[in-house]
A = this chain, B = another copy of it.
Amino acid sequence: MDISKLGEFGLIRRLTDDIKPVNVSTVYGVGDDCAVMHYPDKEVLLTTDMLMEGVHFDLTYIDLFHLGYKSAMVNISDIFAMNGTPRQMTVSMALSKRFTVEDMEMFYKGIRAACGKWNVDIVGGDTTSSYTGLAISITCVGEADKADIVYRNGARETDLICVSGDLGAAYMGLQLLEREKSVYYQQVEEAKKKGDRNMLGQLAQFQPDFSGKEYLLQRQLKTEARGDIIHRLREANIRPTAMMDVSDGLSSELLHICSQSHVGCRIFEKNLPIDYQTAVMAEEFNMNVTTCALNGGEDYELLFTVPIGDYDKIEMLDDVRLIGHITKESLGRVLVTRDDNEFDLKAQGWNPLS
């Protein structure tokens, strides 16, 4: 259905009418000039992210459900990265004329699946039009006890550096998708040049074979925020001294923690958690897998530091890897390679403005 049939308010009603808030902190949701929330006993956390078509996502290989899911998850991830609990979300989008009501329903379905997973209430947003493409802006509100909030600036000398899950897979997934896309369009171009309508018909039905690479695609297309790690850290009675989520790449994030905490770091190549599929794919692409793990973005794993006294507790945690330790600032930010060489860590991660 054409969106102009519903107009702005009709579309908003269609997308949000059956939303029922689940959090006591949500006083009033969609439908007024503002959402209203109540946080008498907690600190309020606020984060926002903007995603632009052509820059952050490519609708030739991510569908609108997964785009919605991912857009919500990357914001939820920022709340977890402060050791908080996500509670409310606003969803703004600007759409060009090529999108239908059904498209937006699919996008919202993805948003709501992510919010449902972590009990986040959709409390507002803005729905408007765009000249070209789709622009998404999401804001997430969360809560935390003051004493529980973990900033980037709390890492201290001798702290252990930990990371959840594995690294580089989301980036390899993106490389894979981009390769398939470019191969596909090459074939289409060739078929057009030859006027081969038969071939064009086949290409229209074409689905690339991603078998054996499912994990890479999942990491790129179905982003998950690591709230499970936050819960398990709490259960294990571990309070990180510094934490952030890995969105731009491990190196870049670790340098943020070092510069904001005024410390150095020493991480070990051999300890970096890398999935088997990531390693295989890197080889196929003739890329250095360590570089992918250090600089590939969008893993949305948690990078955190804990006091050295928590060593035994951390060792007991599934899916958390100890990758190094914090040092004096004067010792620099160092990567120790498998063959015991030392390199300065550089942020070569994703920079949208470079």
Contacts and interface: CB of A to CB of B under 8 A. Distances in A.
A55 B128 contact: yes
Contacts of A34: 45-47, 78-79, 81-82, 84, 142
Given A27-B43, A49-B126, A53-B131, A3 B36 contact: no
Contact of A43 (B36, B52, B78, B93): B36
Interface in A258-279: 260
A240 to B, nearest CB: 12
Contact of A131 (B32, B52, B93, B125): B52
Number of copies of this protein chain within its complex:
2
Nearest to A253: B33
A46 B137 CA distance: 14
Q: How large is the interface on A (under 10, 10 to 19, 20 to 34, 35 or more residues)?
A: 35 or more
B123 A46 contact: yes
B149 A4 contact: no
Nearest to A259: B9
A186 interface: no
A53 B94 CA distance: 11
Interface of A: 3-4, 6-9, 11, 27-28, 31-41, 43-50, 52-56, 78-79, 81-82, 84, 88, 90, 92-95, 123-133, 135, 137, 139, 141-142, 146, 149, 151-153, 244-245, 260, 351-354
